[in-house]
Chain A
Amino acid sequence: EAGVTQFPSHSVIEKGQTVTLRCDPISGHDNLYWYRRVMGKEIKFLLHFVKESKQDESGMPNNRFLAERTGGTYSTLKVQPAELEDSGVYFCASSPGISGNTIYFGEGSWLTVV
């Protein structure tokens, strides 16, 4: 069974450009999460989808970040326009439901804004 997959694995863009990160959750998982780790700091929650609906987006830093999950399958996280402080690793995770004691993470998308 395929795990959570993220694309691209690495991205280097200039300040002011747009980047779109994609996450494919484990098949059948209704819950999809985005987290971010800025270098040297802790991993922080961004938002949570249940199917195609945003359950909690309290961690989204500002309106330059837009997350979508059309059809309740894969999700995209767009940063527009990107700023230097957006550099970091963006993790996606998924889980089948509210039971269980863990969520399953992808390998992360490394974003560098120069």
Chain B
Amino acid sequence: AQKITQTQPGMFVQEKEAVTLDCTYDTSDPSYGLFWYKQPSSGEMIFLIYQGSYDQQNATEGRYSLNFQKARKSANLVISASQLGDSAMYFCAMRDIRDSGTYKYIFGTGTRLKVLA
């Protein structure tokens, strides 16, 4: 069965430093997509970054990058130059790409990040 594991319930990082949020996944499907979402205190789930299982390069979006290690089944999120506004809950998720037409995401339990001034 597909599963996402986030082992860090909470993390602290100093402002302007980089931080890595861990995510490991388990699937037997060759085609899948990996996502990271941010949930600030307002509650909305904000899409951050996507990595396809066949993508050769690690995905990057501004200060966000995804460290994709397929053999280890890990998809860690790296946030560079942390800002106070990065304080939020972060969720790693996986979607089976073959389920075309349905976005049945499998989510991890989340990591709460606190950026310190």
Residues of A within 8 A of B (CB): 3, 9, 31, 33, 35, 37, 40-45, 48, 50, 55-56, 59, 89, 91, 93, 95, 98, 101-108, 110
Partner of B44, one of A31, A41, A105, A110: A105
Q: Can you pick out 29 interface pairs between chain A and chain B where the beta carbons lie within 8 Å of each other?
A: A31-B103, A40-B109, A42-B4, A42-B106, A42-B107, A42-B109, A42-B110, A43-B105, A45-B105, A48-B102, A55-B101, A55-B102, A56-B102, A56-B104, A89-B43, A98-B100, A101-B35, A102-B35, A102-B50, A103-B103, A103-B105, A104-B47, A105-B37, A105-B45, A106-B44, A107-B43, A108-B43, A108-B45, A110-B43
Query: B46: which A residues are within 8 A, CB to CB?
Result: 105
B42 an interface residue at 8 Å Cβ cutoff?
yes
Closest B residue by C-beta to A94: B103
Given contacts A42-B107, A42-B109, A105-B37, contact A98 B101 (CB under 8 A): yes
Q: Give the interface residue-count category, chain B.
A: 20 to 34
Query: B91: which A residues are within 8 A, CB to CB?
Result: 43
Residues of B within 8 A of A (CB): 4, 33, 35, 37, 42-47, 50, 52, 91, 93, 100-110
Give the docked Cα–Cα distance between A31 and B33 (Å).
19
Count how many pairs of residues, one from A and one from B, have CB atoms less than 8 Å apart in the complex.
61
Closest chain-A Cβ to B53's Cβ sits at a distance in Å of 12
Query: B43: which A residues are within 8 A, CB to CB?
Result: 9, 89, 107-108, 110
Closest chain-B Cβ to A89's Cβ sits at a distance in Å of 7
Query: A101: which B residues are within 8 A, CB to CB?
Result: 33, 35, 50, 52
Closest B residue by C-beta to A106: B44
Give the docked Cα–Cα distance between A103 and B107 (Å).
14
